[in-house]
Amino acid sequence: MSMIRDLRAAVRPSLRKGSRSAYPYENTRTDAAGTAVVDCAVYRDGRRVDANLSPDEALRRVRASGGHEFVWIGLHEPTEREFSGIATEYGLHPLAVEDAVQAHQRPKLERYDDSVFTVFKTIHYVEHAELTATSEVVETGEVMCFTGRDYIITVRHGGQGSLRALRHRMEDDAELLSKGPSVVLHAIADQTVDGYLAVADAVQDDIDEVEIEVFSNTTGTGRRGGDAGRIYQLKREVLEFKRAVSPLLRPMQLVSERPMQVIDPEIQKYFRDVADHLTRVNEQVLAFDDLLNSILQANLAQATVAQNEDMRKITSWAAIFAVPTMIAGIYGMNFKYMPELGWKYGYPTVMAVTVTICVAIYRGFKRNGWL
């Protein structure tokens, strides 16, 4: 099996069949470092060799192995106190540690002396029966990775972006996992970007729905055009999507092009595949933004046209009703001597003339498209 096929299979559940449903170490661990540690394991030749070590014990074992092992620690929303022990033991840079604890960081890649700190924004599509002006379309989370020569520490914030299934799939392929921490970093990046692709397809369906509604003659409620509130809300959600995707472009290009001490050169070239997919998603998101701008402008233009049409109709009917109003006003004046007041056929003649004039005006407006 080629390397690229192994890497892609590790992050795509659809390509892996018969995976185990439960592992003895799935539950959150509690140790001296705090309760934020979800999993901590040492790997030798791609196989898990010990799952009952604390982070500091795992590091000592790895360092004693002479570079033949590495440790993978997973944490979920650690506090400063819970993370401080691990940060000190592994020599993590204080600025990166601060970012990992506080979260809400911009996607980025920072290189330190012997480690790389990477921030990924995870995106989850929120299913909804109907898109409304308050619908939440995407949810975001964060996965932060500290990658060294013999360790990788993942810190997750939010309810999305779980790495448990990814860890299980990679443990099923010892040959792949034997490549070390850099292959884990690649798998996380690949899974994150693949999530972007899936969300982009779902958001495209929502945009298509709004576009069809705007350019249809009437909606199910009888209104012309679309709901501007729905369009604006969808535009806000696309903007959140854009904030997760666009800043990650440069870091992925850097990690795929520039040599880094902690990234295996054999693995580094496969980050190009991730960067290519990310570029594709970024282009889609930018296109979504432009398309929604056009849809919103079209919707506003349709609303203006509809208002003009309504005003023309109101004006036309006002002009028609002005004729009998004017005639009734003239003959309602209390003058003793007025034309045809004493004529036997005066009343029906005036009524006939009034109706004739009104019909003529109506036909004129109808012919000109005002009615």
Lowest mean pLDDT among 7-11, 41-45, 64-68, 238-242: 7-11
Predicted local confidence at residue 211, as pLDDT = 87
Per the rule left: phi > 0, alpha: psi between -120 and 50, beta: everything else, 186 is alpha
Which range marks the domain in which residue 294 is found? 33-302
β-bridge partners, 44: 47, 69
Residue 311 and residue 297 in one domain? no
Residue 114 and residue 221 in one domain? yes
- Segment 33-43 shows an average pLDDT of 79
Residue 265 and residue 186 in one domain? yes
Predicted local confidence at residue 287, as pLDDT = 94
- Segment 208-217 shows an average pLDDT of 82
Counting the structural domains of the chain, the total is 2
Q: Is residue 124 part of a domain?
A: yes
CATH number at residue 347: 1.20.58.340
Asked if residues 152 and 72 have their Cβ atoms less than 8 Å apart, the reply is yes
Give me the chain's average pLDDT, please.
82
Q: Is residue 16 part of a domain?
A: no
Predicted local confidence at residue 51, as pLDDT = 67
- Segment 333-350 shows an average pLDDT of 76
Residue 298 and residue 322 in one domain? no
Residue 224 and residue 321 in one domain? no
Residue 325 and residue 281 in one domain? no
β-bridge partners, 194: none
Q: Is the pLDDT of residue 28 over 90?
A: no
pLDDT-derived band at 29, boundaries 50, 70, 90: very low
pLDDT-derived band at 345, boundaries 50, 70, 90: confident
Predicted local confidence at residue 68, as pLDDT = 83
Q: Is the pLDDT of residue 21 over 70?
A: no
Quote the CA–CA distance of 77 and 143 in Å, as a whole number: 10
- Segment 295-314 shows an average pLDDT of 84
Q: Is residue 206 part of a domain?
A: yes
Residue 189 and residue 338 in one domain? no
Residue 291 and residue 311 in one domain? no
pTM score, two decimals? 0.75
Q: Is the pLDDT of residue 33 over 70?
A: no
Residue 84 and residue 207 in one domain? yes
Query: CA angle, 146 as apex, 277 and 76 as ends, to 5°?
Result: 90
Q: Is residue 28 part of a domain?
A: no
Q: Is the pLDDT of residue 315 over 70?
A: yes
Quote the CA–CA distance of 24 and 250 in Å, as a whole number: 39
Residue 51 and residue 72 in one domain? yes
Domain stops at, among 258, 279, 302: 302
Terminal Cα-to-Cα distance of the chain (whole angstroms): 72
Predicted local confidence at residue 97, as pLDDT = 93
Tokens (6 digits) for 369: 């498209």
Pairwise pLDDT comparison (115 vs 31), residue with the higher score: 115
pLDDT-derived band at 134, boundaries 50, 70, 90: confident
Q: Is the pLDDT of residue 160 over 80?
A: no
Domain stops at, among 255, 273, 302: 302
- Percent pLDDT > 70 in the chain is 87
Quote the CA–CA distance of 50 and 307 in Å, as a whole number: 72
pLDDT-derived band at 200, boundaries 50, 70, 90: very high
Q: Is the pLDDT of residue 224 over 80?
A: no
Predicted local confidence at residue 186, as pLDDT = 93
Residue 350 and residue 202 in one domain? no
CATH number at residue 215: 3.30.460.20
Q: Is the pLDDT of residue 332 over 60?
A: yes
Q: Is the pLDDT of residue 9 over 60?
A: no
Domain stops at, among 302, 323, 354: 302
- Segment 21-44 shows an average pLDDT of 57
Residue 265 and residue 345 in one domain? no
Predicted local confidence at residue 225, as pLDDT = 53
Q: Is residue 15 part of a domain?
A: no
Whether the CA torsion 259, 168, 23, 164 is positive or negative: it is positive
Buried-exposed string 162-190: b where 16+ CB fall within 10 A, e elsewhere: bbeebbbbbbbbeebbebbbbbbbbbbbb
Quote the CA–CA distance of 101 and 144 in Å, as a whole number: 10
Predicted local confidence at residue 22, as pLDDT = 31
Q: Is the pLDDT of residue 301 over 90?
A: no
Q: Is residue 10 part of a domain?
A: no
Helices 164-171 + 181-215 axis angle, to 10: 130
